Every structure is written in structure tokens, then in C-alpha cells.
């Protein structure tokens, strides 16, 4: 509860500072004059690997980078000024369990080694509220460089996500579980630090902002463990996994042209 109050106070301080300094960095610029302040966002991103530690055993579990996609909307409150603030709503799937491993033929009931690559990736829905301060460089006529920093509040449903692999034993005639993993969400709301660097440019009547982005989570979003067992020769293996939720990627935001109101012509009677 205390941490949530601190996050809220930090947002108020940032917003107040923006209003003060925005007067200093204000600039009369017509680059955005004909376009909306609302932008449609598409973000192809890649989540970092889960951090894996082994408690005991020899079987290796290799976590993987996980591709994903976020979509949503952003609103630029002071679009024509050098110092602005953006906020909006984003949603997407956050990959949670994604790894691969190999089991030797001497440990299973097959003649060959068994390779497993977790696909489809076990994921969780995430809803995000970004609050970002952005600096725009208006020194270019046909494009504008931008740099942004801020925070992102994430809403993650409290859940437990699991995965398992069963192999058929010809001798006993049973399916035996040789691998299992699970991860639980730590909290329903957490915070990311946001960093972006990109460029605005015009494509006919649309303005497109293309930015590199990096999100760093202040705490692990999921924590869990993995296990290997029922192997013929090797001893069981157990380890822990921590999913930070850190990711990097590219953001595309499109600002479309404002609708122009057509003036009605009055018919004059002669």
C-alpha cells in the first residue's frame, strides 16, 4: 500500500513539473497542426529470458527470448511543444514460460534423444497505462527527433501458468510426466521504467512516430519453478525461474489528419 502511494505521488510531481517547464520549452510549430493528438500504436517487442537457477540435478533447462505484440492508443497533451506528456492505454500478451531442453535416449523410453521447444508460449494478458515525458527537437523541417522517459503501470491478472510433458512408457503402458513447470504472478499492479528514442516524419497526410523502446520492470512479474523426473538413469532436477517482464522493441504510432468541416453554402434568391 505504501509503495502504491509513493508511485501516485511521483506521478503528481512529474505532471506538475511538466506544466511548469512546458512554458519554458514552448514553441510555435505547425508540424502537427493538421493532425490529431490521438495516435494508434503498434509495438513489436521481445521479452527478456527468464532468469533460471538450479537447486539440484543435471538436466539443463534453457529459457528463451519471447516475441510479442502490444497495441493501443496514445494521447499527446502538448503536441506542438518541445516538452510534452503522453499517456494512453496498451494491451497485449506477455510471454511467461518459454524454454527448451533435451532428454537423452538413456533417460526415456525412445531410441533417440528427445528435444522439446515450448511452443505455443504460455502467456498472460497485460493491460498497461504509460505516462511519459517527451522532448521533441524541432530543428528539422521534415522530421522531428524525440526522446522520452517515464513510467508504465501494468495490470496483470493474478494467475498461475503451467506447462508439462508426458511421454508414453511401452513397458508399463502409462504416460509418465518427465517435465513440469509453473509460474505465479506476484501482484495485480506493477511499474515499469520506460525509455524511448525515435523520429516523427510525415507520410502524405499522416504523421508516423517510429521509436526504439526499452521497458525495465521494478520487480519480477512472475516467479515459479521447473522440474524433471521419472527419468531412467538421471536423478530428478529442480530449479527456480523468475520472469522480470523486461522487454525491448520498436513502437509505431500513427497520427491521422483531422477531419475538416465543410461549410454549407447558402442559396441566395434573386
Predicted local confidence at residue 191, as pLDDT: 92
3-state secondary structure of 5: helix
Count of domains observed in the chain:
1
Residue 61 located in a structural domain: yes
- C-alpha grid cell, residue 25: 520549452
Name the burial class of residue 266, with classes exposed (0-12), middle (13-18) and buried (19+) by CB atoms within 10 angstroms of its CB.
exposed
In contact, 209 and 88? CB cutoff 8 Å = no
Domain containing residue 242? 2-255
Q: Which residues of 145-165 are buried (b: 16+ CB within 10 A; e: fewer)?
A: ebebebbbbbebeeeebebeb
Residue 156 located in a structural domain: yes
Reply yes or no on whether the pLDDT at 59 is more than 50: yes
Predicted local confidence at residue 31, as pLDDT: 80
The pTM of the full predicted model, rounded to 2 decimals, is: 0.81
Residue 22 located in a structural domain: yes
Residue 267 located in a structural domain: no
pLDDT in tens, 198-243: 999 988 889 999 999 999 999 999 999 999 998 888 999 999 999 9
Rounded distance between C-alpha atoms, residue 82 and residue 27, angstroms: 6
Q: What angle do CA 76, 80, 83 make, to 5 degrees?
A: 70
Reply yes or no on whether the pLDDT at 71 is more than 90: yes
Rounded distance between C-alpha atoms, residue 147 and residue 145, angstroms: 7
Tell me how far CA of residue 163 lies from CA of 39, 45, 166, 245, 246, in angstroms: 38, 23, 10, 19, 22
- C-alpha grid cell, residue 268: 441566395
Residue 225 located in a structural domain: yes
Residue 266 located in a structural domain: no
| E runs forming strands in 204-245 | 206-217, 222-228, 237-243
In contact, 86 and 148? CB cutoff 8 Å = yes
pLDDT in tens, 16-36: 665 555 554 455 467 888 888
Residue 265 located in a structural domain: no
Residue 262 located in a structural domain: no
- Identify the CATH number of the domain in which residue 138 sits: 2.40.160
Average pLDDT estimate for 251-264: 80
Predicted local confidence at residue 246, as pLDDT: 96
pLDDT in tens, 124-170: 889 999 999 999 887 766 788 999 999 999 998 888 888 888 887 76
Reply yes or no on whether the pLDDT at 38 is more than 60: yes
Nearest partner of 248 among 110, 34, 45, 51, judged by Cα? 45
Amino acid at each position: 500500500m505504501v509503495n502504491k502511494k509513493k508511485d501516485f505521488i511521483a506521478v503528481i510531481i512529474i505532471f506538475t513539473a511538466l506544466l511548469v517547464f512546458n512554458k519554458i520549452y514552448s514553441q510555435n510549430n505547425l508540424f502537427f497542426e493538421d493532425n490529431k493528438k490521438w495516435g494508434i500504436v503498434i509495438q513489436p517487442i521481445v521479452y527478456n529470458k527468464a532468469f533460471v537457477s538450479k537447486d539440484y540435478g543435471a538436466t539443463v533447462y534453457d529459457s528463451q527470448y519471447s516475441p510479442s505484440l502490444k497495441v493501443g492508443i496514445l494521447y499527446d497533451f502538448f503536441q506542438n511543444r518541445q516538452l510534452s506528456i503522453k499517456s494512453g492505454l496498451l494491451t497485449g500478451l506477455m510471454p511467461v514460460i518459454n524454454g527448451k531442453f533435451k532428454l537423452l535416449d538413456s533417460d526415456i523410453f525412445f531410441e533417440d534423444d528427445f528435444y522439446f521447444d515450448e511452443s505455443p508460449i504460455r502467456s498472460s494478458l497485460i493491460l498497461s497505462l504509460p505516462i511519459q515525458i517527451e522532448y521533441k527537437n524541432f530543428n528539422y523541417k521534415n522530421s522531428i527527433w524525440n526522446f522520452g522517459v517515464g513510467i508504465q503501470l501494468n495490470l496483470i491478472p493474478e494467475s498461475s501458468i503451467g506447462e508439462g510433458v508426458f511421454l508414453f512408457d511401452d513397458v508399463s503402458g502409462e504416460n509418465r510426466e518427465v517435465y513440469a513447470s509453473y509460474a505465479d504472478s506476484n501482484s495485480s499492479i506493477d511499474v515499469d521504467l520506460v525509455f524511448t528514442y525515435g523520429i516523427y516524419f510525415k507520410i502524405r497526410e499522416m504523421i508516423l512516430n517510429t521509436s526504439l523502446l526499452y521497458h525495465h520492470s521494478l520487480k519480477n512479474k512472475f516467479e515459479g519453478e521447473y522440474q524433471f523426473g521419472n527419468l531412467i538413469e538421471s536423478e530428478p532436477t529442480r530449479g527456480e525461474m523468475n520472469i522480470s517482464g523486461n522487454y525491448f522493441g520498436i513502437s509505431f504510432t500513427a497520427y491521422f489528419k483531422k477531419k475538416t468541416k465543410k461549410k454549407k453554402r447558402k442559396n441566395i434568391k434573386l
